[in-house]
């Protein structure tokens, strides 16, 4: 699955893109198409896009700011676009 990055996410970066790739594949298999990543107390909390359900907690921070990941598909394949909420 491809990962597309907004300018904001390119700017802040991620501490572990390999882990992100594994997470989005696993969560997409569970029909999650809108994800929210936020850092709390040195950990990353992953919720559904509405922040209503905590899907998992990771024991390290991945992003320095809140980041959304939105699933999409085109004629060539599937992808998640990572963006800051103000870029939506």
In contact, 69 and 37? CB cutoff 8 Å: yes
| Run of H or E residues at 8 | helix 7-12
Q: What are the pLDDT digits (tens) for 14-43?
A: 999 999 999 999 999 999 999 999 999 999
* Domain extent listing, the chain: 2-83
Q: Is the pLDDT of residue 49 over 90?
A: no
* Adjacent-strand bridge partners of 74: 77
Q: What are the pLDDT digits (tens) for 50-82?
A: 888 999 999 999 999 999 999 999 989 999 999
Model pTM greater than 0.85?
A: yes
């Amino acid at each position: 699955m491809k990962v597309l990055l907004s300018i904001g996410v390119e700017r802040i970066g991620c501490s572990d893109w390999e882990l992100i790739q594994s997470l989005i594949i696993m969560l997409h298999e569970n029909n999650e198409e809108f994800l929210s990543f936020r850092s709390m107390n040195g950990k990353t909390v992953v919720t559904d896009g509405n922040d209503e359900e905590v899907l998992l907690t990771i024991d390290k921070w991945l992003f320095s700011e809140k980041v959304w990941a939105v699933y999409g598909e085109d004629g060539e394949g599937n992808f998640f676009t990572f963006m800051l909420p103000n870029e939506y």
